Structure 1
């Protein structure tokens, strides 16, 4: 379980990114975090794995106060959490399998880190992860020869290879076309359901959030203004989350289509 207890995050310039956040997220949930740009969505998920440190309160993961972890303890903790970024964060001039193998580097002895020699077991796990996202046939292709959607699936495979309990996804489909976006979201949903991995996703595409997530958390100016089932989200709730800026005809059509 992930628990936010009276969490506040202030940046050095005085900006309050999160204020009085109280949440509980159970293992195996698929949660979409929505809101305007700058509302605090990315900060919320990045505090879970300590990319950002909180200013006040506690974040507990399985009854461990993550803000108190230091050194090897925080490194061990981060092995349980996969992070997916919009920019993929891949080494494009090498092969797909080499990018997945990177996930094993923290656990290697120094001589393997220096030489880049991985065990047969590591290679098998990397190939299995690629198979889970449907791109096993691309294992020995250079990453720069892949489409954006395929690259995001490589990033997802790299995360799966570390066998995480939680996947944090920061705008994972923002740079993808609509068709490819749904292929990637199908991967996330299948992994969530089949492997019981918690997925917490910061996403701008509201209609996709409502379609794929079990639960929606709406953030406005750093505060949680909605937390409930995706099926309970109405236009009035979206107006509240987006501060009255949920007004476009396209947005209305998207929500209407979902509700129907």
Structure 2
């Protein structure tokens, strides 16, 4: 359970990123966070794993007050939360399996960190994670030889290897073509359903958000303006979220699909 209680986030320069956020997200939900650039979507997601600290209210994950965690507590807490970025954050000049094995580094004794020697169990877990996203055959290929979609799957496998309860995804398909984006979204959906992992995704593609997510949270100017089932989202609701730009967003999405 993730719970925001009157959460506020104001940056040092005075910018109000989040205001009066009250949300509850149950284990196993697939949630898409939508809204204009600068609306607060990324900030909302990054507060969950303490990449950003809140400046007011309370944020609980499984009854743990996230803001009160310190030092090693934060690192242990983050082990339960996977993070997927638009830029993949991979070491492209090394192999796929080595990128996945990186997820085990925080728990290794110092000598293993220095030598880069992993246990047989870690290697098996890494290969199993690659198998779950359908790229086991790429395990010993260098990352820079993979397509963008395959690289995003490596990033997803790296996250799965740490056995997270929650996956946060910050624009995970923004740099992918429409066909590849659909394949990656299929992976997210399957993992969400088969492994009961909560997925909270910040996404610009409205049509894809409505197709894959069970729940939509609409953010505008740092505030939640819609929170409900995807099936309940109407043109009027999108207009409210995008301040009248819903038609523009939809046409852009349809135009992209037509180019596949």
1:99 aligns with 2:99: yes
Q: Deviations over 1:167-218 (max 9, x none)?
A: 0000000000000000000000000000000000000000000000000000
State the shift of 1:249 in Å: 8.2
Runs of 4 or more consecutive aligned structure 1 residues displaced over 3 Å after TM superposition: 249-254
Judge conservation of contact 2:206–2:250 (CA < 8 Å) in 1. no
2:39, 2:197 → 1: CA distance?
26
SS at match of 2:169: strand
Residue in structure 2 matched with residue 128 of structure 1 by the alignment: 128
Aligned length: 255
SS at match of 1:31: strand
Q: Deviations over 1:96-131 (max 9, x none)?
A: 000000000000000000000000000000000000
SS at match of 2:174: coil
1:220 aligns with 2:220: yes
Residue in structure 2 matched with residue 186 of structure 1 by the alignment: 186
SS at match of 1:248: helix
Residue in structure 2 matched with residue 112 of structure 1 by the alignment: 112
SS at match of 1:60: strand
Q: Which residues of 2 match residues 124-203 of structure 1 at below 5 A?
A: 124-203=124-203
Q: Which residues of 2 match residues 1-260 of structure 1 at below 5 A?
A: 1-248=1-248, 250-251=250-251
1:55, 1:181 → 2: CA distance?
35
Unaligned segments of structure 1, at least 5 residues: none
2:159, 2:57 → 1: CA distance?
29
SS at match of 1:247: helix
State the shift of 1:244 in Å: 1.2
SS at match of 2:149: helix
Judge conservation of contact 2:40–2:220 (CA < 8 Å) in 1. yes
State the shift of 1:252 in Å: 9.0
Q: TM-score, normalised by structure 1?
A: 0.96
Change (3 A) 1:250 1:46: closer
2:32, 2:138 → 1: CA distance?
30
State the shift of 1:30 in Å: 0.1
Q: Deviations over 1:49-75 (max 9, x none)?
A: 000000000100011100000011111
SS at match of 2:31: strand
State the shift of 1:246 in Å: 1.6
State the shift of 1:247 in Å: 2.6
Unaligned segments of structure 2, at least 5 residues: none
Task: Give the alignment's Cα RMSD to 1 decimal.
Answer: 1.3
Q: TM-score, normalised by structure 2?
A: 0.96
SS at match of 1:219: strand
2:96, 2:114 → 1: CA distance?
20
